[in-house]
């Protein structure tokens, strides 16, 4: 990022017929433009910055005679999605964490120089002095986007997160019967009614060792940090024959290993793909047994859902909304903690 240079001051004297001693009239230079980052609700990715690495603001114009001030340089405004972290790439310092509607000056433009009109006085009536414009700030920055979602869908690969997001919202994540179908987080908005909306994020599947970088590793964990509520999907009958309670524990251990604060985030446990077990009574038994084995509070029941048959979706959305109200704000009133 490079801000604009300030314009130089001007040395000029007023010379008109019949005015033999018009005096100094050199104007000041214009200020250089600044580079400003703005969180724009209509921008959702950093794609515009992937191929463009140099961003510069306009230089200020030099001053002119007749006490004319040089024009200020145009600011360069970078429109970024809310949730963008801006780092100084050289020092690693966090310069800004953009919340919705916020703006920050990343590189300040140089101040314009003074013209000789600025230095006139009773003693020095014909100054030939001026000052040059100051250079603008320049720095190399790194942009890191963390999603801002009300609720994050977590679970092992193939737990049914993408299917659930697609039926709750209008998002179109890739759905397939192999691990790591989702390679990047997907966002969707679920509407309970015209006044209640929930932003959901389908976070890439987590595996054992993710906190140390295994699998999609930090690509999973860095995004889930922003969410207010975690919706933890546990497959009722895993295709690989694994134990649902063990699968749940794997995810919990990775969350807590990555960040104790993340491990303390509100959580809703969901038994997914219950359409694979047609007997309702057996479903209830499996949900109760899972809750007992993972040490779930008896007041926090496990919710059975099915993305294929739409079973339990309304109850799940109501539960998420209730948890969000207890946690504080939804993303529509998001602020940094």
CATH code at position 324: 3.40.50.300
Q: Domain containing 75: what range?
A: 1-145
Q: Are residues 48 and 196 in the same domain?
A: no
Q: d(Cα 227, Cα 266) in Å, to the nearest integer?
A: 9
Q: Are residues 3 and 108 in the same domain?
A: yes
Half-sphere exposure of 25 (CA within 13 A, CB side): 11
Comparing CA positions, the residue from 160, 268, 165 lying closest to residue 205 is 160
For the chain, give the number of residues.
337
Q: Are residues 64 and 178 in the same domain?
A: no
Compute CA distances 11 → 48, 121, 167, 324, whole Å.
43, 15, 70, 64
- The predicted structure's pLDDT at residue 59: 95
Contact of 161 with 182, CB cutoff 8 Å: yes
Q: Is the pLDDT of residue 223 over 70?
A: no
Can you tell me which residue has the tokens 């993972």?
294
Half-sphere exposure of 203 (CA within 13 A, CB side): 34
Q: Are residues 255 and 274 in the same domain?
A: yes
Q: Are residues 55 and 193 in the same domain?
A: no
More reliable by pLDDT, 29 or 205: 29
Q: Are residues 307 and 198 in the same domain?
A: yes
Boundary of a domain, candidates 130, 145, 160: 145
Task: Quote the percentage of the chain above a pLDDT of 90.
Answer: 21
Q: Are residues 75 and 133 in the same domain?
A: yes
Question: 265-281 burial, b for 16+ CB within 10 Å, e for fewer?
Answer: bbbbbbbbbbbebeeee
Can you tell me which residue has the tokens 């980052």?
37
Q: What is the pTM of this model?
A: 0.59
Boundary of a domain, candidates 125, 145, 165: 145
Beta strands at 141-145 and 84-88: parallel, antiparallel or unpaired? antiparallel
More reliable by pLDDT, 53 or 298: 53
Q: Are residues 109 and 201 in the same domain?
A: no
Q: Are residues 103 and 189 in the same domain?
A: no
Comparing CA positions, the residue from 175, 178, 239, 177 lying closest to residue 202 is 175
Q: Is the pLDDT of residue 179 over 60?
A: no
Neighbours of 213 (CB within 10 A): 11
Boundary of a domain, candidates 117, 145, 173: 145
Q: Is the pLDDT of residue 334 over 80?
A: no
Contact of 307 with 163, CB cutoff 8 Å: yes
Q: Which band of pLDDT confidence, cut at 50, 70 and 90, is reported for residue 250?
A: confident
Q: Are residues 86 and 172 in the same domain?
A: no
Tokens read off for 137: 């700030």
- For 256-278, what is the mean pLDDT? 82
Q: Are residues 118 and 267 in the same domain?
A: no
Q: d(Cα 14, Cα 17) in Å, to the nearest integer?
A: 10
Q: What is the distance, to the nearest Å, from the Cα of residue 251 to the centroid of all Cα atoms in its chain?
A: 24
Interval 124-171: pLDDT, tens: 888 888 999 999 999 999 998 876 678 888 888 777 888 888 888 876
- The predicted structure's pLDDT at residue 204: 67
Q: How many structural domains comprise the chain?
A: 2
CATH number, domain at 91? 2.70.210.12
Q: Are residues 24 and 114 in the same domain?
A: yes
- For 74-101, what is the mean pLDDT? 88
Can you tell me which residue has the tokens 């309702």?
280
Q: d(Cα 231, Cα 56) in Å, to the nearest integer?
A: 43
- The predicted structure's pLDDT at residue 36: 94
Contact of 307 with 180, CB cutoff 8 Å: no
């Amino acid at each position: 990022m490079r801000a604009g240079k300030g314009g130089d001051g001007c040395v000029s004297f007023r010379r008109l017929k019949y005015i033999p001693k018009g005096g100094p009239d050199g104007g000041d230079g214009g200020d250089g433009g600044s580079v400003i980052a703005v969180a724009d609700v209509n921008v959702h990715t950093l794609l515009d910055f992937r191929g463009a690495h140099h961003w510069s603001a306009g230089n200020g114009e030099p001053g002119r005679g007749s006490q004319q001030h040089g024009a200020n340089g145009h600011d360069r405004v970078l429109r970024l999605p809310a949730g963008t972290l801006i780092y100084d790439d050289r020092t690693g310092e966090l310069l800004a964490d953009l919340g919705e509607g916020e703006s920050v000056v990343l590189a300040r433009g140089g101040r314009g120089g003074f013209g000789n009109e600025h230095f006139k006085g009773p003693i020095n009536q014909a100054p030939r002095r001026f000052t040059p414009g100051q250079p603008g700030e320049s720095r190399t920055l790194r942009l890191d986007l963390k999603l801002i979602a009300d609720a994050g869908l977590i679970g092992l690969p193939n737990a049914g997160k993408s299917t659930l997001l697609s039926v709750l919202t209008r998002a179109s994540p890739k759905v397939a019967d192999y691990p790591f179908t989702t390679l990047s987080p997907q966002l969707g908005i679920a509407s309970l009614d015209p006044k209640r909306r929930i932003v959901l994020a389908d976070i890439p599947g987590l595996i054992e060792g993710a906190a140390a970088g295994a699998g999609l590793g930090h690509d999973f964990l860095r995004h889930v940090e922003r969410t207010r509520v975690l919706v933890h999907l546990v497959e009722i009958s895993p295709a690989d024959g694994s134990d649902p309670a063990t699968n749940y524990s794997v995810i919990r251990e990775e969350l807590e290993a990555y960040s104790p604060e993340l491990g303390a985030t509100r959580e809703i446990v969901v038994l997914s793909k219950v359409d694979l077990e047609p007997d309702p009574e057996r479903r209830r038994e499996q949900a109760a047994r899972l809750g007992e084995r993972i040490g779930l509070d008896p007041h926090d029941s496990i919710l059975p859902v099915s993305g294929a048959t739409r079973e339990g979706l309304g109850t799940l959305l109501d539960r998420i909304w209730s948890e969000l109200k207890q946690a504080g704000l939804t993303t529509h009133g998001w602020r940094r903690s």
